[in-house]
A and B are shown apart, each in its own frame.
Chain A
Amino acid sequence: MYRTSLLKQTARPSVRVSTRQFSVLNNQVRKWSEIPLAPPDKILGISEAYNKDANTSKINLGVGAYRDNSGKPIIFPSVKEAEKILLASEVEKEYTGITGSKKFQNAVKGFVFNNSGKDVNGQQLIEQNRIVTAQTISGTGSLRVIGDFLNRFYTNKKLLVPKPTWANHVAVFKDAGLEPEFYAYYETSKNDLDFANLKKSLSSQPDGSIVLLHACCHNPTGMDLTPEQWEEVLAIVQEKNFYPLVDMAYQGFASGNPYKDIGLIRRLNELVVQNKLKSYALCQSFAKNMGLYGERTGSISIITESAEASQAIESQLKKLIRPIYSSPPIHGSKIVEIIFDEQHNLLNSWLQDLDKVVGRLNTVRSKLYENLDKSSYNWDHLLKQRGMFVYTGLSAEQVIKLRNDYSVYATEDGRFSISGINDNNVEYLANAINEVVKQ
């Protein structure tokens, strides 16, 4: 819905301009008054409606940010500690480089590609200067920068995204000038991955297309491919000469350990080292796994064919970013630098914080499952899903009924943010769902 109306909105102005003559001293004020209203953000609308609801049992399942068992936002203790260190030691707030500081770039490379010494292939790529990493405006900013970059330099505009996918993917890539199209991913009627169709629809796409892959905790379904299934997909990628673009917004949320959630990256690194794949790109975000949401901290990495190619690509990234925002914000990236700086000894405490967060999400997921009525609906898919969401399979009508009759607020695709669930409301929620399903 959001997507289709967005298409119309962006198409309209250009039509209007071409049909209207501009005469000298024609009043721009009047013409501006014809600017159409853009559709509101879905999630925002839900939060607004939730805030207005007077029902004390109301539940907000729209937000994509973690809440603790009392429904409150948290700051990871390790992040709080890093921030304390930063406040006490910071002596300047100067501009960082256009693509961020070397220290931040190296921290990301070591963390993701070298997997802290466990990925020999990634290690080799780093040593050969075949990875260009730039700090970006969190995950969204990295998706947009790579979209703009591919639009400028890659031979194909077609970009394949799973159906369904994160609500913003299509808008980001369309506005970057690419042509997003869906590939099959999920079968709603079965509440399961539709792997046969996934392969079929990918295979039917033109050679050289760009393919977007969710690294883990697929948003919104929470359903990831198994390592065996990834092998099959990567075989298609090689055969069709696709350009892999990996979106990793939830690293750590599948297993609780960020070093374990990057099987896809490690496999891609191996393929590059074996010369079976020339290049790929990774969009990475610290929004969720460090709880740095609003600080907009993330990165884009492009794996290149050679050190020379890296230099050219880095210079072009700078040229692309400079007129958009000059340089990225430093607060979040300095926190990341401190957490990965061995002298502060914070890495382990961050890993524990993250594991605790994921642990609570999984506990709540099972509690919800326990309380759901399995006699009228098969809820087993809940237990296969990973990440911050449960993709219930409820219809838009059922979601609206939950909202109207029970003050339970969620997006109409039936995606519930587990963060909004806790010991105090899980039974109320399960009961509401059971009632709505029964009807």
Chain B
Amino acid sequence: MSYFAGITELPPDPLFGLKARYVADSRTDKVDLGIGAYRDNNGKPWILPAVKLAEAKLVSSPDYNHEYLSISGFEPFLKQASKVILGENSAALAENRVVSQQSLSGTGALHVAGVLLKEFYTGEKTVYLSKPTWANHNQIFTSIGFKVASYPYWDNDTKSLDLKGFLSTIRTAPAGSIFLLHACAHNPTGLDPSQDEWKQVLKELEAKKHLVLFDSAYQGFASGDLDKDAYAIRYAIDQKVISTPIIICQSFAKNVGMYGERVGAIHVIPSTQKDEQLGRALKSQLNRIIRSEISNPPAYGAKIVSTILNDRALRQQWEADLVTMSSRIHKMRLKLKELLTNLHTPGTWDHIVNQTGMFSFTGLSPDMVARLEKVHGIYLVSSGRASVAGLNDGNVEKVANAIDEVVRFYAKPKL
């Protein structure tokens, strides 16, 4: 008898497989466009100068220690983190309507949001995800017992937002469903609604009293500006456009470049009205969930972020670092598009520069992606999502030439 009934080996994560093939490839000019982490112009990981300075300051401070945080997390971190996402002058914060809990980065925040909703949300237990979306979204909610559905988002023909389909699904979904929205720098498409489109989306969500769950994993990565990238969230809350509960899942993995430290938070705004008793109840339930999963959240990363946010010079440095990252990525987008245009590569490539954040949904087919890997040693996921952070001055021409080659290769038979 085997101890564990029905246990079978699962195939490895596709991204993991991609990375393994990349590492095993002996070509010296290979290019990794699969990774979801920032690379500098030399293709190297980058610890932000603001982080390095904050670490030095934190570790040498006399009250530095490794004690347990409280179950809610590090209060100076939570306080500043909520301001980063909601704004310095947020009325919801001033009115004490925001319940915050430190989480294991963005994933942990989404998971805790799911557990909380599973237990206490009496509306429709279906989570609507954009099509396509980040690979983990589906499992995060199905593993807790939610039904998952999708709303149209990316129109592959026009390589732009399918606003009509999006709005139509909002209207036809059962009232009180849960809608997960990427706050900015949509993963994987890099395509965000315009401010006007956001207004339409939020208005329709409110009309059906859907619950709004914002996933904010790339604040500052889209535009380089933290405030601009929080537009949709702040519009929904400040203008009281949404009357149902709003949940924000905030990650500091990408924008502080501390992927592995697992720094994040969940912010719940249960009501447009002040309700202190409800706030306390929510906080206590979030604490209960955290206590039986991890006891209390990890300290170090939260202390670093808090050190940055509570020190004017470090905060300025961080904002400059964000510009460094987002502008380098934007420069690569422009360069790639320019090269493809000059090569007269069949198709239009404007979407590469219109997209924001770490990724570009190139529109390349799985065949083309496979050929890029096989013939050119350029690695990206089969959906055609390329991590623009993997491009640099040293490899962008090679990548453009390779894209040109694979597009023409597969376009040929049709001509």
Interface, chain A (partner B; CB < 8 A): 6, 9-10, 13, 16-17, 20, 22, 24-29, 31-33, 35-41, 44, 64-65, 73-75, 79, 83, 87, 90-96, 98, 137-138, 140-141, 144, 153-155, 168, 171-172, 174-175, 243, 278-279, 287, 291-296, 305, 308-309, 311-313, 315-316, 318-320, 322-332
Q: A38-B288, A328-B262 are in contact. Are A323 and B140 (CB under 8 A)?
A: yes
Query: Are B105 and A35 touching (Cβ within 8 A)?
Result: no
Determine the distance from Cα of A168 to Cα of B68 in the docked complex, in whole angstroms.
Answer: 15
B71 at the interface (CB under 8 A from A): yes
Minimum CB–CB distance from A358 to chain B (whole Å) comes to 18
B211 at the interface (CB under 8 A from A): yes
Query: Are B294 and A138 touching (Cβ within 8 A)?
Result: yes
Minimum CB–CB distance from A338 to chain B (whole Å) comes to 14
Query: Are B300 and A295 touching (Cβ within 8 A)?
Result: yes
Query: Are A326 and B107 touching (Cβ within 8 A)?
Result: yes
A326 is contacted by which of B64, B105, B123 (Cβ under 8 Å)?
B105
Query: B7: which A residues are within 8 A, CB to CB?
Result: 153, 309, 312-313, 316
Interface size band for B: 35 or more
B45 at the interface (CB under 8 A from A): yes
B393 at the interface (CB under 8 A from A): no
Determine the distance from Cα of A322 to Cα of B272 in the docked complex, in whole angstroms.
Answer: 34
Query: Are A329 and B111 touching (Cβ within 8 A)?
Result: no
Query: Are A40 and B299 touching (Cβ within 8 A)?
Result: no
Chain B facing A: main interface SS: loop
| Residues of chain B in range 267-326 having any CB-CB distance to chain A below 8 Å | 270-273, 275, 277-278, 280-282, 284-285, 287-289, 291-301
Query: Are A325 and B2 touching (Cβ within 8 A)?
Result: no
Determine the distance from Cα of A91 to Cα of B257 in the docked complex, in whole angstroms.
Answer: 12
Interface, chain B (partner A; CB < 8 A): 2-10, 12-13, 37, 44-47, 51, 55-56, 59, 64-71, 104-105, 107-108, 111, 119-124, 136, 139-140, 143-144, 175-176, 209, 211, 243-245, 253, 257-262, 270-273, 275, 277-278, 280-282, 284-285, 287-289, 291-301
Interface contact tally, CB-CB below 8 A: 249
8 chain-A/chain-B pairs, Cβ below 8 angstroms: A92-B46, A95-B260, A140-B293, A294-B296, A305-B2, A315-B10, A325-B111, A329-B261
A75 is contacted by which of B66, B262, B297 (Cβ under 8 Å)?
B66
Minimum CB–CB distance from A67 to chain B (whole Å) comes to 10
4 closest Cβ contacts across the A-B interface? Answer: A294-B299, A92-B45, A325-B104, A330-B260
- Best-surrounded residue of A41, A305, A308 (most CB of chain B within 10 A): A41
Query: B295: which A residues are within 8 A, CB to CB?
Result: 137-138, 140-141, 168
Query: Are A278 and B3 touching (Cβ within 8 A)?
Result: yes
Minimum CB–CB distance from B9 to chain A (whole Å) comes to 4
Q: A35-B285, A293-B66 are in contact. Are A28 and B260 (CB under 8 A)?
A: no
Determine the distance from Cα of A162 to Cα of B213 in the docked complex, in whole angstroms.
Answer: 41
Q: A22-B122, A295-B299, A332-B300 are in contact. Are A93 and B259 (CB under 8 A)?
A: yes
Query: Are A324 and B64 touching (Cβ within 8 A)?
Result: no
Query: Are A153 and B6 touching (Cβ within 8 A)?
Result: yes
Query: B272: which A residues are within 8 A, CB to CB?
Result: 29
Query: B13: which A residues are within 8 A, CB to CB?
Result: 98, 318, 322
Query: B120: which A residues are within 8 A, CB to CB?
Result: 13, 32, 35
Determine the distance from Cα of A328 to Cα of B144 in the docked complex, in whole angstroms.
Answer: 20
Query: Are B4 and A91 touching (Cβ within 8 A)?
Result: no
Determine the distance from Cα of A223 to Cα of B345 in the docked complex, in whole angstroms.
Answer: 75
Determine the distance from Cα of A312 to Cα of B64 in the docked complex, in whole angstroms.
Answer: 41
